[in-house]
Structure 1
Amino acid sequence: MQCNVGGIDRVLRITVGALLVILAITGVVGTWGWIGLVPMATGIFRFCPAYPLLGIKTCSKD
């Protein structure tokens, strides 16, 4: 797994994912908020499985 998620993309994924999970825990958004675990994981591991399929790479490292 090669890094394909860059800095701003990573911060946004972790922030939005954490917000969704917190809202799911508090019951504000219901159970669908647990989908926030997906962007959190892709931000933490710096790899998005959809990016290679779409030919996207926001990480500047080679």
Structure 2
Amino acid sequence: MKSNVGGIDRILRIVVGALLIAGALSGLIGAWGWLGLVLVATGVFRFCPAYLPFGLSSCARK
């Protein structure tokens, strides 16, 4: 798996994902907040399968 999630994208995914999970745990936003798990996972592993069909990458160019 080649990384396709860059630095700022990674941080945003992890932070927003954690906020969504916290909202789901506290009951503020309901079950939709568990989608934050996907954001956290893609941020931690630096790979987003949704980027593949479009050839996107937010990693710095070498």
TM-score by length of 2: 0.93
In the TM superposition, structure 1's runs of 4+ consecutive aligned residues that sit over 4 Å from their partners are none
Deviations 1:4-49 (A, max 9, x none): 0000000000000000000000000011110110011000000000
Find the counterpart in structure 2 of residue 60 from structure 1: 60
Q: RMSD of the TM alignment (CA)?
A: 1.1
Distance 1:61 1:2, change over 3 A: farther
8 Å contact 1:3–1:61 — kept in the other structure? no
Q: Higher mean Cα deviation, 23-32 or 52-61?
A: 52-61
Measured in 1, the distance between the counterparts of 2:41 and 2:60 equals 19
Task: Give, in angstroms, the shift of residue 54 of structure 1.
Answer: 1.1
Q: Unpaired runs of 5+ in structure 1?
A: none
TM-score by length of 1: 0.93
Measured in 2, the distance between the counterparts of 1:48 and 1:61 equals 17
Find the counterpart in structure 2 of residue 30 from structure 1: 30
Identity %: 60
